[in-house]
Structures are given as C-alpha cells and as structure tokens.
Amino acid sequence: MAASELAWWQKGIVYQVYPRSFQDSDGDGVGDLPGITARLEHLRRLGVDAVWISPFYPSPMADFGYDVTDHRGVDPRFGTLADFDALLARAHALGLRVVLDLIPNHTSDRHPWFAEARRSRSDPRRDWYIWRDPAPDGGPPNNWVSAFGGSVWQWEPATEQLYLHTYLREQPDLNWRNRAVEAAIHDVMRFWLDRGVDGFRVDAVQNLVKDEMLRDNPPNPAYVDGADPYDRLLRVHSGDRPEVQDHVRGMRRLVKSYGGDRVLIGEIYNAVERLMPYYGTAGDGCDFPYNFQLIRLPWDARAIDAAVRRYEGLLPAGAWPNWVLGNHDRARVATRVGPAQARVAAVLLLTLRGTPTIYYGDEIGMRDVPIPPGRERDPWGINLPGMGLGRDPERTPMQWDAGPGAGFTTGEPWLPIADDWRTVNVEAQRDDPASILTLHRRLIALRRTEPALHGGAWAPVEAEGGVLAYARESGDARFLVALNLSPDEASLSLDSVGGGEVVMGTHADGEGRAVQGRLELRGDEAVVVRLRA
C-alpha cells in the first residue's frame, strides 16, 4: 500500500496516558484532565500522533477507573466534561488525536444499572448482568477463576443468586447476550464520538461473551504451581467465544459511521494466532487488536525474531500490525530489560512495521518504583500478595522536572515518585542529545519522514546470537535495522542487503558511518542503516 493511502493511525504513533499519574493541576496528588491538557505540548514535541487516555469516568476507583459508574461523565477527581472538551480542543489544535478507553465488559457494582439489577430477580435490568443459582452442592455455578483472584462468582444474599465478575467483585460483567446492553454501550460510544473523539481502545473485549452453558474451563496443562492462579485453567469457555466477533463488527460499524479515520483498537491478551480473528473478515473487525508480544517475550534476539516473523506471517491480508512495549498493567520496559536495552527497545518499537504505542514515561526511561508496604493501591497486588502482580510500580507519577513533586504535583502524590526523578525527568533530558527522550524524538521524526519506516514492507534479515535484524522498504528507499540485544560486541553480515550509512542509532557517535561487508555493533547498540539503492 502506498504510504499516502495510509490512515493516521497506521502512519502514526499512539501515546498512552494514565490520567492519575500524568499531571496534577490542583494539588490533590492525583493527575487530572486539565493537567493532561497543560502537558499536551510534550506529546507534540515528542512527535506522537494520538493520545490514548486510560479511564477518567466517574468511578469508586476499586480498579482505578476500570470500574465505571457513569460512562458518559468525568470523575470529579479528574475534572469536568468541560475540562474534557477543552482537552480535546487543545489536542486537535495541536494536531493530536484523542482515543478513549471504552469499558464495555463490566461496570462498577455501584453503577445505577447494577443497583437496579441486584434489586430483585424480576427487575427489568436483572438480565443486563449474569446471574446464576448456586450449584446443587451450594458451591459456585462453575470453576471459572477471576483475573484478580478467587472465583468469578459473587453471592448476593438479597436475591439468593450469584453474579459473575471476570475482574473484581466490584466489577460485575455485563450480559452481552442481551441486545439492550449492546445498544446502551453503543449510546456511550455515540456520546463521545459526537463530542469529537477519534476512537476507542476497547477494554477486555475478548471477554464480552461467555459460553452460553457456562461450562467449566479445562485445566491448563502448562500451569506451574505458584504462577498466577488466573492461568490455572484454559479460558476457553469464559472468553474469546466466536460470538464476540459479532459485537466487534457492531462497534466498528458505529465507529466508522463517524468517518474512516476513527480508530477501533481491541485490548486482547491472547496467543498470537487468537488475535487474528479480531481483525474480522475482510476488515470488518478492529483496526488492530493490541499485540503485547514485546511485553511478554523474553528479551532475546532469537525469540523476538521468531515472534516478529510469525506475527507478520499470521496477519490476514490487509491487516495492520502494531507493537506495544509497555502499559499500565505490566512492568515497565526499562525495568524488564535495563536502561541500556531500553534504548535498543525504542529503536525496535519505532522501526517495526505497524503502529507503535508508547506508555507515558517510557520515553524518559522511567522504571518501576518499589512501593513501600502500606502504600500499595492496586487490588490485584493486594488480593494476591507476594506474587509480584501489583501494578502500582509502573503507574507512578510522570517525572517532569527536578523540582519538588517532580513537577507532577504540589501535593502528596497518590503513589511514590521514583528516587531518580532529579535526573530522570523531561526537563533534564529535553536538550540532552544523548538522552533517551532525544532518541525517541529523533526516531519518531525519522519514522515520520521516511515512508519506508511508517508504511513500508518488512523483511527479515538473517542474524545470529544476540543480534536481531530486519529491513524496511518502500519504493527505492531501503533501511536495515540491526539491534544488539546483548551487552557484548556482535556483528552482522551485510551480504544479503548490501552496504549503506548509519542514519540513527542508540549511540550518536556511531551515526554517519558507512558500513559495508560486515556491520560491527557494540554491546547494547542498535542502528538504522540507509541502504544504498
């Protein structure tokens, strides 16, 4: 496809903001919408195209906004609808798109819909959620395990039935087999699309539809004792049912009725081959289901090489790829791979084929922050202590400058600020040519100007050991990307691609050098080489 025919979300880069932690504007220690608006300039300077904002809707915050009581509002902690409109207007004025988090799988248990549903078995709203009698032995109706620990079933003494919650008991699942639920969520989508948003990242979309008979999930033969209990069973009946595609199609039709440039992104944690159905058939599904392989794979050149090849091979015709290095649910990339490799990872993310998503703070190399006992906030970590599942470490405040509160807040931050904030911050890195922030900005600029990098074909290049290599090309322009994922020196034969010139890399002093025959890489070095035609 010619790069000029690509949509913004294909050519562009998404930046994820976790609103509690981006910028506090009123000193309560929690980030908010006016704070995001005030910091949009950072995104523009970085060169990204869109901001995806994690939920800011009214919520009791049992799961920090993924438990919604009103899908059409703004939680007062985050501001007002007028603040949202101002954010959207400012973003659009800066040429940035705004993507919202849509949470259709569940609501808060304090949502008015659930308040009605739990009132009586005959309430018209009852069937908006999933209720069952206990099993004959008095136990739960089936063996499904909640993502955050324990059974998915919660007993309601008032009506003597149990309701299903894939996540917290404070997050009852909606019943998508009831078409009124779909219509209600479509109304929510219209509400935001009418305000001018550019699309949605759809939370937990694979879980929308459950097996009609709620059959037990089979045991997972690969499960090892001590691992996350959520993985004890294969979740073949509790989610990822074929029926879900019908609802994805419905969401797409709605989103695209507002114009082809609105984007629909699915959040799906699945084996790669099970991501593909979410593209739909003949492009009637998500624009892209999120691809979390770089978060989950060992940081190993051969493993990543195999995964990229496999993913590229599995993509249906015309399906658009995407890559993610970090998000609010997983350890930060700089912690997973270390600071030197975080730079290599940036080169990887920004040169692979497909839309990259950058998690706030990763562009300055923020690391997971150890949370002292008593300050944990994430229910996942609190419910399953000692397993390292808590997500607070990757959700700590953005480090803007070396001042008090890291420029994030004038108050007491809701999570601790990293110890290294005086040196690892936006202001310190902004004009430093060697900083990881500058590396991101330059890579993004290169990706934007070179059609081969934002829209061109991808081809594997044979490499060994710690080196990962591939080519990108469009028309006459050809690039080689070579990444040394190890701390040791390494080299790569250029026989199959020819020679060229290093145009960008993790090590600025390596730029401009001509390469021919063999490419020598220092430990932790990644380069982008413009190949001779």
Among 392, 205, 228, CA closest to 288:
205
> Is residue 167 within the footprint of ligand NOJ (CB under 6 A)?
yes
Q: Which of residues 389-428 bind ligand NOJ (CB under 6 A)?
A: none
> Is residue 66 within the footprint of ligand NOJ (CB under 6 A)?
yes
Separation in Å, CA 304 to CA 298, 425, 468, 494:
8, 30, 8, 20
- The CB-of-166 to ligand NOJ minimum distance in angstroms stands at 8
Residue 138's SS3 state is coil
Nearer to ligand NOJ, 204 or 463 (CB): 204
Rounded Cα–Cα distance for residues 14 and 360 (Å): 10
Rounded Cα–Cα distance for residues 516 and 497 (Å): 10
Q: How many residues bind ligand NOJ (CB under 6 A)?
A: 9
42 CB neighbour count, 10 Å cutoff: 19
- The CB-of-103 to ligand NOJ minimum distance in angstroms stands at 6
- Residues paired with residue 355 on neighbouring β-strands, in sequence order: 322
Residue nearest to ligand NOJ (CB): 66
Angular region, 115: left φ>0, alpha ψ -120 to 50, beta rest = alpha
- The CB-of-66 to ligand NOJ minimum distance in angstroms stands at 3
Q: Which of residues 170-209 bind ligand NOJ (CB under 6 A)?
A: 203-204
Rounded to 5 degrees, φ, ψ at 199 are 150, -175
Query: In degrees to the nearest 10, what's the CA dihedral of 424, 428, 432, 437?
Result: 50
Nearer to ligand NOJ, 106 or 336 (CB): 106
Nearer to ligand NOJ, 106 or 441 (CB): 106
Q: Is residue 287 a contact partner of residue 275, using CB atoms and an 8 Å limit?
A: no
85's tokens: 């409109």
- The CB-of-133 to ligand NOJ minimum distance in angstroms stands at 26
Nearer to ligand NOJ, 383 or 410 (CB): 383
- The CB-of-9 to ligand NOJ minimum distance in angstroms stands at 19
324's tokens: 């993610």
- The CB-of-315 to ligand NOJ minimum distance in angstroms stands at 23
- The CB-of-174 to ligand NOJ minimum distance in angstroms stands at 12
Q: Which of residues 236-255 bind ligand NOJ (CB under 6 A)?
A: none
Q: Which of residues 92-121 bind ligand NOJ (CB under 6 A)?
A: 103
Nearer to ligand NOJ, 103 or 366 (CB): 103
DSSP for 84-116?
A: HHHHHHHHHHTT-EEEEEE--SB--TTSHHHHH
> Is residue 83 within the footprint of ligand NOJ (CB under 6 A)?
no
Nearer to ligand NOJ, 84 or 230 (CB): 230
Helix extents (H) in 39-178: 40-46, 81-93, 112-117
> Is residue 63 within the footprint of ligand NOJ (CB under 6 A)?
yes
116, 127, 329, 376: which one binds ligand NOJ (CB under 6 A):
329
416 CB-near residues (< 8 Å, 6+ apart): 369, 371, 372, 375, 396
- The CB-of-322 to ligand NOJ minimum distance in angstroms stands at 16
> Is residue 228 within the footprint of ligand NOJ (CB under 6 A)?
no
Binding site for ligand NOJ (CB under 6 A): 63, 66, 103, 167, 203-204, 267, 328-329
